[in-house]
Amino acid sequence: MSVINQMLRELDARGAASSDLPAASTGTVSANRHPAGLILGGLGLLAVGAAAIYWMLPAAPKKVDAPAATVIARQETAATPVAVVSAQVAPAIQNALQAVIAAPPAEPALAALVQPQVAMPVPEAVQAKAERPLSAAPKLLIPVQSADRIVAQVEPAVVKKMTELSPEADAQQYYDDAQTLRRAGKFDAAIGKYRQALERNPGMTNARTQLARLLQESGQADAALSLLKTGFEQRADGGLAIATGRLLADLGQKDEALGWLVRGQGGLRPADHALMGALLSQAYRHEEASRAYQRALAADPNQGGWLLGLGLALEAQGRVEEARMAYRNALERGQFKPEVIRFLRERSGLLAP
């Protein structure tokens, strides 16, 4: 850079000296050509120096365009007509060149700001993204202690729900236990279970009748009768009416017993019909008694006692032949004491009176 500055100073000195000499008429053309040659030579050296400086500067990336200002400066420098430049213009040119040389290079700054980036094709970018392993989803780990606490909180509610039975189901459980105890001969314990069943389900007819029977067998007939009548008042049930009639019949209250059996007539069993026949015969209602016995024998014709009762009811009506037939059937199908057998043989005509 100092060499170029020195050449410019010498060029200025020569131009000033040539301007002080008187111009001759014969040497006008040569005098004018000499300074022009010097100027052309100096400009050539300047161009060579500028080119050397340009090539010494770091090269910009290929894809980054050079600044427009630099290109325009180069074009103006190349397009300046050298032959027209005079000595008076040399200082201005020198100052301009010094400003250009002193100015920091623009292209490296641009190169630093604009870094070359290698564009990846879209398929390759997608493939690279796809090849990256996906991070596994985080697993939720529950501590064992926490799980135990949850189970401990849930279990009591589940057990409580399973043990909570309906009143009917609970009463049935007590009834089954009472039946087991009764068959085992543990009557007092069975009575307690029957009572518990009735506390949970007062309308449980089977438990009430079984309890009344145990109370009667244990000598508590009045308590048994009260239990049956109370149950019938709460719920008019044919089974309770029949049980009450049978209990009253055992107590010798024949008329009242007959009335209770009539209340439960829709649910009478063959034995209940036979009981009604006996009660009707004792009440001297023989025709009704014979019909009651016939209903009982229609269900079970092999009952000797019922045949004996039918024969008595028929004989009381004067139907002797029908009564004899009933007595003979009673002898064949029943098991009697010797005095009853003798009576039947006499009444049937098989034995002389």
- Do 253 and 231 contact (CB within 8 A), yes or no? no
For residues 256 and 232, state if they share a domain: yes
Phi and psi at residue 335, to the nearest 5°: -115, 115
124 in any annotated domain: no
Buried b (16+ CB within 10 A) or exposed e, 65-76: eeeeeeeeeeee
For residues 6 and 102, state if they share a domain: yes
Kindly state the average pLDDT of the residues 215-237: 94
Give the pLDDT confidence score for residue 257 in this predicted structure: 96
Domain termination site, one of 248, 267, 286:
267
- Do 111 and 61 contact (CB within 8 A), yes or no? yes
- Do 202 and 234 contact (CB within 8 A), yes or no? yes
For residues 187 and 263, state if they share a domain: yes
For residues 303 and 328, state if they share a domain: yes
Reduced to 3 states (helix: H, G, I; strand: E, B; else coil), residue 203 is: coil
For residues 44 and 72, state if they share a domain: yes
For residues 210 and 302, state if they share a domain: no
Q: Which domain holds residue 324?
A: 269-353
Give the pLDDT confidence score for residue 2 in this predicted structure: 54
pLDDT in tens, 164-217: 779 899 999 999 999 999 999 999 999 999 999 999 999 999 999 999 999 999
78 in any annotated domain: yes
189 in any annotated domain: yes
Give the pLDDT confidence score for residue 12 in this predicted structure: 63
Six token digits for residue 240: 């309770």
Going by C-alpha positions, the residue among 184, 183, 241, 234 that lies closest to residue 212 is: 241
Q: Bigger pLDDT: 159 or 28?
A: 159
For residues 11 and 98, state if they share a domain: yes
199 in any annotated domain: yes
How many other C-beta atoms are found inside a 10 Å radius of the C-beta of residue 109? Answer: 11
